[in-house]
A and B are shown apart, each in its own frame.
Chain A
């Protein structure tokens, strides 16, 4: 068995607390819930650290845990209606965006799967490969959700190389 050292995991979790909180906050918009989400994600990360094979992949691995905690919280709140995967890929879901919101609000108003890709790409500067690891979708799916999301945000994507 390949055990990641407890101390390198702890070091990472402490150093990554602020980005983790910001990401949680962007889903939950509630200080207490975001703190709870970070704490549960940290706890789960240590509990399951044996499922991480390579410390080099710790960030996408941890972000995956955190995003799942946040989505679970949203589900429990019943505030989110999850869009069927086919609809996400064709960006044919109903446009939830208020045209007058700030771009930050409009990103958050995207379906959570699409918002996740946009946030990780532009806020966390993750590569498409890492995003694919976080979400468990293949790169093409990640790409199409990213483009779909940007289109919904009315951002021009002509000639942009996203990878």
Chain B
């Protein structure tokens, strides 16, 4: 007796399977899924760490100069007092648009205050925003050029785009001090994120330092906290991201080490991507608990 192969025996079932009628709206549903997935991915990238002023702040624009992008920026200026004390930190520029293949999502904060410290911080943030957008546009242009120079077609290029995001989060505040972080994100074929920290004492018109928070022993206190943290992480299940000290890993904190002060008053050290750990670990934040 001749055996039919399994494939032959399954042919009938496979035919029924292949004859499944395809609804017309399938493609539309797939495209909706794509848009949804992209939006969620971006949300997830911003969630938690990147919360700005919340709903009350909405989107208000006071100045828009240095970026020199399109004039379609919403001009909904509003002066919402956020912090109450001597000064405010607020969104001084918001820019949400897509232009030349770059998706801008910029919420640029500024400190409203007369002192030199506030002005210096504002200027530094502005310079970093300008640098991010300039680099983003240059990278994108280079990428596009290389893509077509190596035989890429318009069709293959499709709807490629780059994300440029600036967002900030106020970590803690008092009548005269504020601690906040600003994130700069560039995402396309690869993604890079930087987080800068600002801690200001507006009454004294100066930066708050780690020594102010932790006393004269601040270097040792921080180093102990970091070494302890790395040890624990390396033992955990996601361990192994941290570089050893002799291979570019953590050695010591110094006055350039970023930090913020959280709601509980705890100092949290911030290390940029790749600075003490592999990129997979992302930006590393280590709280310094003092007992």
Contact = CB atoms under 8 A, between A and B. Distances in A.
B279 A159 contact: no
Given A47-B44, A123-B17, A6 B30 contact: no
B14 interface: yes
Interface string B167-205: 000000000000000000000011100000000000000
B3 A102 contact: no
Main secondary structure of the interface of A (DSSP, over half): helix
B13 interface: yes
A71 interface: no
7 closest A-B pairs by CB:
A46-B37, A42-B33, A104-B16, A103-B13, A43-B37, A39-B33, A104-B13
A104 B34 contact: no
Contact of A21 (B20, B31, B38): B20
Interface of A: 1, 3, 5-7, 10-11, 13-14, 17-18, 21-22, 25-26, 31, 35, 38-47, 49, 102-104, 106-107, 119, 122-123, 150, 155-160, 162
Contacts of A160: 5-6
Looking at chain B's contact residues, the main secondary structure is: helix
A156 B32 contact: no
A158 B3 contact: yes
A45 B37 contact: yes
Given A47-B41, A160-B5, A31 B23 contact: yes
Given A38-B26, A39-B32, A107-B13, A7 B158 contact: yes
Nearest to B190: A3
Contacts of A1: 190-191, 279-280
B9 to A, nearest CB: 5
Contacts of B25: 35
Interface in B1-58: 3-7, 9-10, 12-14, 16-18, 20, 22-23, 25-27, 29-34, 36-38, 40-41, 44
Given A1-B191, A3-B191, A38-B26, A150 B6 contact: yes
10 contacts: A10-B159, A14-B34, A21-B20, A21-B23, A22-B17, A42-B34, A43-B37, A45-B37, A46-B33, A47-B37
Contact of B189 (A3, A26, A107): A3
A151 B25 CA distance: 38
Given A6-B160, A17-B30, A102 B280 contact: no
Contacts of A5: 160, 189
B129 to A, nearest CB: 24
Contacts of B157: 7
A47 B33 CA distance: 10
B159 to A, nearest CB: 7
Nearest to B189: A5
A162 B22 CA distance: 30
B31 to A, nearest CB: 8
B12 A103 contact: yes
Contacts of B4: 156
Given A3-B190, A10-B158, A43 B36 contact: yes
A47 B36 CA distance: 8
B41 to A, nearest CB: 5
A14 B30 CA distance: 7
Contacts of B20: 21-22, 25-26
Contact of B33 (A38, A107, A119, A156): A38
Given A22-B17, A122-B6, A35 B29 contact: yes
Nearest to A11: B158
Nearest to B37: A46
Given A5-B189, A162-B6, A119 B27 contact: no
Given A6-B38, A47-B41, 14 more contacts: A10-B159, A13-B30, A14-B27, A14-B34, A21-B23, A38-B30, A44-B37, A46-B36, A46-B37, A104-B16, A122-B7, A122-B13, A123-B14, A160-B6
